[in-house]
A and B are shown apart, each in its own frame.
Chain A
């Protein structure tokens, strides 16, 4: 036999076979090549939507949250397995289909966001596991003609006090016939075996083998690939297009207009890309062409000196501020930011008569499914959305506007064939749905001891929730809480507080970006409090503690991070330590950042010590990983990230001009988790907000340079040094 394997596209698309590393898909979507859970049959025990046990004893946990790196495919099965008392080695996971059974317990729609997965699923999944455990015990007891109270569940078996033992797999068929109990008792904390342990991630092996399937890796028979030419200016439209040259590109199959631009459909990615390069489109730019972020900066600064909608008012800042012994007014600015997940956006859509199937890494399955139903005219239950692994999400893949899914449905509809729409990196960076640009002005008055007596924070930036289903109607006095979160709940004791908000409208689409409003408010608040400490000639840690209640979780993380970092110990010349703390998504985090600044203004963050109090812990290993991740994500924004516009056009396009942190810039990171029995908090997002202020405060400590605009680039530091 010849060793030569001849593969044509035709073979690839018509067969379902495993070739090399690639799995060619038919109708099922094995997101990871895990040993498959049992298919529905009389011997399968599925007491609820989240769990089934097959006669082979394998436990399949159905996960209603999207895995984008935060570890839900491990932490959520742990909650089930704890109560089920099964052997962890028998646990498999499977992404949930779109169904109200899988709705977010608070948001009423199937969505992964707000660092809520563990918080909102803990009870539901624990009960799912406990229910199954009780039924398995009942089934075993019935078979043994024994009392359930004499039986216990242990490591995947029911065990009788007299030593008899039956494995769950053998009990599945009998358990499936029993009534589901209404009341279940959960384990006492002291009896937990799995929750709280450093359990290895279930998705690691496939991700290391290269067999893990992301949206971009999915294929179906007859699939084509499309790129879409989108307007270079937000809000722009197609006037006309000339497809002659593009159609001449080998492999290009069809070119047509869709609501978001012009689709180039081809046999494969490379042909589609060549086709799009050859496509000539005349665009109408519209009003967006006037927009420049330089102009917006001065507009926003102007607005910040005028009263806005009042988000919080206590006492009377107008009275207190002018009478204060000392006053500080500082302005902070942060730019638009792209999420830039490593996996560019993509969505595969297969529309058949009476049905539509979608494969994509969605964070918001119901919105995306419903958008597809509307476009195809199908009832929602005829639209199946298969959630693949997400090559990063950070909020970009949960869009109330369902932008990339809607677009792909339009393209598949137009092509009359299954089509995967793929975004290039430039499409992603220039595609909008950014973290909004923000301007903050904090004007505070202090007493003679340097303690704040008056605090006025005025924020200027676009609303994310405005115009989405989250906005109430009527919305007269409505404040978008995501605009002011982290600023409104000022943790420090101040008698007179006012928080004002301006929400200018811009043609630039905006969206939640890992930690949402906290991503900008923490920078302003925690930088300002540092400035106030230095103005009062107080140690920044001591100053913060003096303004906090005697017992508080924020105090706890500040003290822990400071202790572990050796706060106050001498540093070499040119080095500095900065501290910052922030509460968000139910968790408290403090960082001490250590950095050095050389004579060439090159800043190097050397070490970050993190203390986190996120309440009860499911998996400390995943929490540590999320803190490391948040530090890197926060540093990318603090040191590099900025999306700017000139004449309405996004200036940046890829990782050369929109850099993210590289290996050589990654600091050493220590994570210390506070032991706590408080309700669980989030871990995906809360680590991001305090990174930038900790670094800005460390830069000040190292050099006396106070940067109030992000990113803190070498050029920005040099400019400050020239001023000095």
Chain B
């Protein structure tokens, strides 16, 4: 039995502790917004926040999460500036990688409220998009940064 704090709620899942967090989220708790892309930490589709930091959920055993707080894309409010910017900039194409991109971007902005392009490129490097939405991701992060900066709407 593994106990997890996800999006502000406690969950218990009847799984061995070595099962990757990704598969506990998807197969056992129904949080399918978090995606499987490679299972090896190479693509970032599975990105979630653990205590506010962006992590590959495929690379961490559920049993190792402990009392740390997990946030999935479903737990990021719909009004979050990153989600709003993603709609405004029309980032999504197939959309499969976008939950991971959004979680990575939200963590990046939490740590660097006003990143320049180089910081965006570096911060977003772990996440792949086969549809090539990168230019719009850059724009959306800049837009969200405007809203999260002091005096902004968020």
On A, residues with C-beta under 8 Å from B are: 3-9, 12, 19-24, 67-71, 200-201, 203-214, 216-217, 219, 225, 250, 268-270, 340-344, 389-394, 422, 424-425, 621, 625, 628-633, 636, 654-656, 660-664, 666, 668-669
- Say yes or no: A201-B135 contact (C-beta < 8 A), given A3-B9, A12-B30: no
Q: Choose among B43, B45, B90 the residue that contacts A200 (Cβ–Cβ < 8 A).
A: B90
A628 and B132 form a contact (CB under 8 A): yes
The answer for the CA separation of A77 and B38 in the assembled complex, in Å, is 34
Rounded to whole Å, the gap between the CB of B37 and the closest CB of chain A is: 5
- Across the interface, do A663 and B134 meet the contact criterion of CB distance under 8 Å? yes
Beyond A5-B9, A270-B19, A344-B37, is A208–B135 a contact (Cβ under 8 Å)? no
Residue B72 at the chain A interface, CB threshold 8 Å: yes
Which residues of chain A are within 8 angstroms of B15 by Cβ–Cβ distance?
A: 270
Tell me the bound Cα distance from A214 to B19 in angstroms.
23
CB within 8 A of A661: which of B10, B40, B95, B134?
B134
Q: Report the minimum CB–CB distance from B102 to chain A (whole Å).
A: 7
**Does chain A have a CB within 8 A of B81?**
no
B23 at the interface (CB under 8 A from A): yes
Please, how many angstroms separate the alpha-carbon atoms of A212 and B74 in the complex? Answer: 11
Cβ–Cβ contact A208 & B29, under 8 A: no
Contact assessment for A625 and B136 in the assembled complex, using a CB-CB cutoff below 8 Å: yes
Residue of B with least CB distance to A210:
B33
Q: Are the C-beta atoms of B131 and A629 separated by less than 8 Å?
A: yes
Cα A207 to Cα B90 in complex, Å, equals: 11
- What's the nearest-Cβ distance from chain A to residue B131, in Å? 5
How far apart are B126's CB and chain A's nearest CB, in angstroms?
A: 9
Chain B CB count within 10 A is highest, among A210, A217, A628, for A210
Tell me the bound Cα distance from A389 to B97 in angstroms. 13
Is the pair A424, B130 in contact by a Cβ cutoff of 8 Å? no
User: Once the chains are docked, how many angstroms separate the CA of A219 from the CA of B134?
Assistant: 31
The yes or no answer to B56 lying at the interface (CB within 8 A) is: no
Q: Indicate whether A632 sits within 8 Å of B131 (C-beta atoms), given known contacts A3-B9, A204-B90, A209-B73.
A: yes
- The smallest C-beta distance from B106 to any residue of chain A, in angstroms, reads 12
16 pairs, CB–CB < 8 Å, chain A vs chain B? A20-B11, A20-B31, A21-B31, A22-B32, A204-B86, A204-B90, A204-B92, A216-B32, A269-B36, A270-B20, A389-B95, A392-B94, A625-B93, A632-B129, A662-B128, A669-B135
A663 and B12 form a contact (CB under 8 A): no
Q: Are A210 and B73 in contact (CB under 8 A)?
A: yes
B91 to A: closest C-beta gap in Å: 8
Q: Please tell me which one of the listed residues A21, A342, A393, A663 contacts residue B37 in the complex, with CB atoms under 8 A apart.
A: A342
- Within the assembled complex, what's the spacing in Å between the Cα atoms of A69 and B73? 20
Q: Is the CB of A268 within 8 A of B94?
A: no
Q: Please, how many angstroms separate the alpha-carbon atoms of A214 and B138 in the complex?
A: 25
Which chain B positions have C-beta within 8 A of A216?
A: 32, 35-36
Q: Say yes or no: is B113 at the interface (Cβ < 8 Å to chain A).
A: no
* A656 to B, closest residue via Cβ: B42
**Chain B residues touching A, range:** 35 or more
Contact A654 B130 (CB under 8 A): no
Decide if B83 is an interface residue (CB 8 Å cutoff).
yes
Contacts of B87 in A (CB 8 A): 200, 204-205, 208
Nearest A residue to B10 by beta-carbon distance? A4
Given B6, B16, B86, B122, which contacts A664 in the complex, CB threshold below 8 Å? Answer: B122
Q: Within 8 Å CB of A268, what residues of B?
A: 23, 27-28
The smallest C-beta distance from A630 to any residue of chain B, in angstroms, reads 8
**B43-A20 in contact (CB<8A):** no
Complex Cα–Cα for A6 and B125 (A): 36
Known contacts A205-B87, A208-B98: does B134 contact A666 (CB below 8 Å)? yes
Q: Assess the B94–A425 pair: CB atoms within 8 A.
A: no
By the criterion CB–CB under 8 Å, are A209 and B23 in contact?
Answer: no
B78 interface residue (CB < 8 Å to A): yes
A4 close to B12 (CB less than 8 A): yes
B28 contacts which of A12, A341, A625 (Cβ < 8 Å)?
Answer: A12
- Does B121 lie at the interface of the complex (its beta carbon under 8 Å from any beta carbon of A)? yes
Interface string of B111-124 (1 = CB under 8 A from A): 00000000011101
Closest to A658 in B: B42
The answer to whether B27 and A69 touch across the interface, beta carbons within 8 angstroms, is no
> Who on chain A is nearest to B33 by CB?
A210
Residues of chain B within 8 A (CB-CB) of A4 are 10-12
Contacts of A205 on B, CB cut-off 8 Å? Answer: 87
Shortest beta-carbon contacts, A-B, top 9: A632-B132, A210-B33, A22-B30, A21-B74, A391-B96, A207-B95, A69-B93, A69-B94, A210-B73
Bound form: Cα–Cα A631–B94 in Å? 16
Closest B residue to A422 by CB, please name it: B36
Contact assessment for A425 and B37 in the assembled complex, using a CB-CB cutoff below 8 Å: yes
Q: Would A629 and B93 count as touching, CB distance under 8 A?
A: yes
Chain A residue at smallest Cβ distance from B73: A210
The reply to whether A209 and B83 form a contact with Cβ atoms under 8 Å apart is yes
Most chain A beta carbons < 10 A, residue from B27, B73, B129, B132:
B132
Nearest A-chain residue to B99, judged by Cβ: A210
Across the interface, do A7 and B12 meet the contact criterion of CB distance under 8 Å?
yes
Q: Tell me the smallest distance from the CB of A195 to a CB of chain B, in Å.
A: 18
Q: Does B127 contact A (CB under 8 A)?
A: yes
Minimum C-beta distance from A220 to chain B (A): 13
Residue of B45, B78, B120 near A209 (CB, 8 A) is B78
With A22-B26, A216-B35 already in contact, 7 other A-B pairs whose C-beta atoms are closer than 8 Å? A4-B11, A22-B32, A342-B45, A342-B129, A663-B125, A666-B138, A668-B135
- How far does the alpha carbon of A225 sit from the alpha carbon of B28 in the complex, in Å? 12
Roughly how many angstroms separate A69 CA and B132 CA in the complex, as a whole number? Answer: 10
Q: Tell me which residues from 11 to 62 in chain B have a Cβ below 8 Å from any Cβ of chain A.
A: 11-16, 19-20, 23, 26-40, 42-43, 45
A636 to B129, CA, bound (A): 11
Contact between chains at B130 and A633 (CB < 8 Å):
yes
Bound-state Cα–Cα, A636 to B120, Å: 20
Contact of A20 with B6 in the complex, beta carbons under 8 Å: yes
Q: Looking at B29, B30, B99, which has the most chain A CB atoms within 10 Å of its CB?
A: B30
* A424 contacts across to B, CB distance below 8 A: 39
Partner of B130, one of A207, A270, A341, A422: A341
* Distance to closest chain A CB from B73 (angstroms): 4
Instruction: Find out whether the CB atom of B134 lies under 8 angstroms from the CB atom of A9.
Output: no
Residue from the list A68, A204, A211, A389 in contact with B33, Cβ < 8 A: A211
Known A19-B30, A21-B31, A269-B27; contact A633-B94, beta-carbon cutoff 8 A:
no
Contact: A22 with B29, CB < 8 Å? yes
Nearest-Cβ distance from residue B84 to partner chain A, whole angstroms = 9
CA distance A363 to B36 in the complex (A): 21
Interfacial chain A residues near B31, Cβ < 8 Å: 20-22
How far is it, in angstroms, between the C-alpha of A23 and the C-alpha of B32 when the chains are bound?
A: 8
B residues less than 8 Å from A656 (CB atoms): 40, 42
Contact A9–B14 (Cβ < 8 Å) = yes
Q: What residue of chain A has the Cβ atom nearest to residue B45's Cβ?
A: A342
A3 near B10 with CB under 8 A, answer yes
Minimal Cβ-Cβ distance residue in A for B94:
A69
B65 in the interface (beta carbon within 8 A): no
Is B74 within 8 A of A210, CB to CB? yes
A68 touches B94 (CB 8 A): yes
Please name all residues of chain B whose beta carbon is closer than 8 Å to the beta carbon of A67 when the two chains form the complex.
Answer: 94
Chain A residues with CB under 8 A of B93: 69-71, 625, 629
Alpha-carbon gap, A4 to B94, bound state (A): 35
Chain A: minimal CB distance from B42 (Å): 4
Measured in the bound complex, the distance between the Cα atoms of B89 and A201 in whole Å is 11
B13 touching A7, Cβ below 8 Å: yes
Indicate if the CB atoms of B94 and A390 lie closer than 8 Å: yes
B92 touches A208 (CB 8 A): yes
A69–B20 CB distance below 8 A? no
List chain B residues, Cβ under 8 A from A655: 38, 40, 42-43, 128
The answer to whether A69 and B131 have CB atoms under 8 Å apart is yes
Residues of A within 8 A of B19 (CB): 270
Q: Do B95 and A212 touch across chains, with their CB atoms under 8 A apart? A: yes
Q: Which residues of B contact A392 (CB under 8 A)?
A: 94, 96, 130-131
Identity of the chain A residue whose Cβ is nearest the Cβ of B121 in the assembled complex: A664
Candidate in B14, B16, B37, B136 with the most chain A CB atoms within 10 angstroms: B37
